[in-house]
Amino acid sequence: MAHLLRVKNRFFLRAGTILFALCFLIATGGSAFAGPRGSAILKELEDALVSLADRIRPAVVSLSAYVPPSPSIRRQGDDSGRPAGAGAGVIIDGAKGLIVTNNHVVRGSGKVKVTLLGGEEKVGTVLGSDEDTDLAVVQIEVDQPLASAVFGDSAHLKVGQLAVAVGNPYGLNDTLTFGIISGLNRENVNLSRYEDFIQTDASINPGNSGGPLLDIRGEVIGINTAIINYAQSIGFAIPSNIVRKVTSELIKFGEVQRGWLGVGIEQVTPEIARRTKSEEGKGVWVNSVFEGDPAYRAGLRVGDIILKIGGAPVDTPSRMIRLIGSFSPGQSVNLDILREGHREVLTVMLDSQKRGREKQVARSYSEPARAPMGLEVESPEGLEEVVISRVNPKSPAGAAGLRAGDRIEAANGRAVGGIEEFKSILDSVSTGESLFLLVLRNEERLHLALVRED
């Protein structure tokens, strides 16, 4: 135990040395390290980073498409046509061969090729994936325990902390980059449904996806997921506390089981704040309550402002979605609401998100309301998205090639942020006029036009 404490203390001293050295490098342009003492400090910095790299690299793997052997197609020893590396992953349980990565790295695959640090290749099975957080778990068979990474606590991260990213950018396996945490709680980046990203300037490139973001202790504080293509030094990682919860459910159930409230919500704007005697930016406004769903049974009404969920404050629709999704189906939670200027507390027993979405789709198909231009749309709970739920094949929408599942991103040159906004644009189109839509279908953007006939 004493030895372990000495090792740990020595590593913390090295971490402190890194911070000290970096601050002086920035302040002095390197001149402070010209003498022997400066060289010693820089050597400490170098040793600390090398130590971190040596400990984490064996736990990082390369993931790429798995192509079953086919002697009739590829001759033995012919490696031409092999797929390039698609991303990275990090081993979280070396004894069981469990690896966490991004969902988009393994999307549509039951098997993936996993390449370990020394070059050994294995076939991995996708145990489960979660598109809403862009996470997946892969398992490989192991003869003996592999090196494993350790999760840190992302709840206590601070802007300015040092960060290290490891992955396989552009097929360059086993690449380590260094930077800081540039921001926290980033949302509305349009990368996934549940967004609460760590922003970092540690260099992240295609191929880093699924690899770890580490703190100076070498603990995983996030899983690298994306970059902004047109920007420099802006990368995003999924916080380790989210990763830990999602991966545990994927391993146990093969899917993530989330709570469902059954409401439509939107930001508290100045106009809504004035009408409801509330404060702008505090809470979310309930614009619809689905009959028979948990919110309806608990007595929530259209016009209520949800201020807290389970004691946690709500300030944006995205945060509320994450909070509800963090509870399990069947769990009871308290909602602090503002109703007509008065605070109340409602207790609601959450339903299953999966079952709630199925009911929502069923409702949209059973509604007798006439669909303008043969187009029916819906919005996933709490999200400012418009998704086509049904298309009449003999309508202008059907003739234009629209399909159920298409996501409408813009209409007549205006970005679409919700159903009400889309309906407003649709109502402004007169008979005989055209409606130009930008839709997202299977990660491909299409421009489609239809003419209003009614």
Average pLDDT (135-142) is 94
Per-residue model confidence (pLDDT) at position 113:
93
The separation between the first and the last C-alpha atoms of the chain, rounded to the nearest angstrom, is 79
Confirm whether 447 is a catalytic residue: no
Average confidence (pLDDT) over 32-57: 75
How far apart CA 336 and CA 351 sit, in angstroms, is 19
Structure-block tokens of residue 191: 């990368």
pLDDT at 79 over 50: no
Q: 339 with 392: CB under 8 angstroms?
A: no
Average pLDDT of span 189-217:
82
Most trustworthy range by pLDDT among 63-72, 75-84, 428-437: 428-437
Least Cα distance to 373 among 353, 394, 355 occurs for 394
3-state class of 138 per DSSP?
strand
User: Does 366 qualify as catalytic in the annotation?
Assistant: no
pLDDT value for 309? 93
Q: Which two tokens stand for residue 329?
A: 């189906």
Q: Name the region of 303 (left: φ>0; alpha: ψ -120 to 50; beta: rest).
A: left
> 3-state DSSP helix/strand/coil percent for the chain, to nearest 5?
30, 30, 40
Query: Of 134, 293, 351, 406, which one is the catalytic site residue?
Result: 134
Q: Which of 62, 64, 104, 293 is catalytic?
A: 104
- Are 199 and 158 in contact by the 8 Å Cβ rule? The answer is no
**Is pLDDT at 202 greater than 70 in this prediction?**
yes
pLDDT at residue 150 in the model? 93
Contacts of 343 (CB under 8 A, 6+ apart): 307, 336, 337
Q: Is the pLDDT of residue 5 over 50?
A: no
With respect to CATH, is domain 59-67+84-256 assigned 1.10.287.110?
A: no
Looking at the structure, give the CATH architecture of the domain made up of residues 259-354.
Roll (2.30)
- What number is the average pLDDT over the span 330-353? 91
Could you give the percent of the chain with pLDDT greater than 90?
28
Question: What are the residue ranges spanned by the domains of the chain?
Answer: 2-57, 59-67+84-256, 259-354, 373-451
pLDDT digits over 247-259, tens only? 999 999 888 888 8
417-424 LR contacts (CB < 8 Å, sep 24+):
417/384, 418/266, 418/379, 418/384, 418/385, 418/386, 419/377, 419/378, 419/379, 419/386, 420/287, 422/377, 422/386
- The fold for domain 373-451 equals Pdz3 Domain (2.30.42)
Q: Quick one: which of 436, 441, 454 has its CA closest to 395?
A: 454
Q: Which residues of 13-52 are buried (b: 16+ CB within 10 A; e: fewer)?
A: ebbebbeebeebbeeeeeeebeeeebeebbebbeebbeeb
The average pLDDT across 435-447 equals 81
The predicted model gives 206-224 an average pLDDT of: 89
**Which residues does residue 415 pair with via DSSP β-bridges, in sequence order?**
410
Query: Per DSSP, what are the bridge partners of residue 408?
Result: 386, 439
Question: What integer is the mean pLDDT of 17-27?
Answer: 50
Contact by Cβ (8 Å): 341, 365: no
Residue 16's pLDDT band (boundaries 50, 70, 90)?
very low
- Considering the chain, what percentage of its residues have pLDDT values greater than 70? 80
Contact 354, 371 (CB under 8 A): no
Paired with 376 in beta bridges are 390
Residue 359 has pLDDT above 80, yes or no: no
**pLDDT at position 231 over 50:** yes
* 442 Cβ contact list (under 8 Å, min separation 6): none
pLDDT at 6 over 60: no
Question: What is the reported pTM?
Answer: 0.66
For the chain, how many residues are written?
A: 454
Q: What is the pLDDT of residues 142-154, one digit of tens each?
A: 999 999 999 999 9
Q: Which long-range contacts (CB under 8 A, 24 or more apart) does 47-50 make?
A: 47/14, 48/11, 48/14, 48/15, 48/17, 48/18, 48/216, 49/18, 49/164, 49/178
- Per DSSP, 151 falls in state B
Annotated catalytic residue: which of 209, 326, 379, 389?
209
| Interval 305-337: pLDDT, tens | 999 999 999 988 888 888 888 888 899 999 999
Please indicate whether residue 156 is annotated as part of the active site. Answer: no
Cα–Cα distance measured from residue 367 to residue 376, given in angstroms and rounded to the nearest whole number: 10
Residue among 367, 230, 236, 346 at smallest CA distance from 294: 346
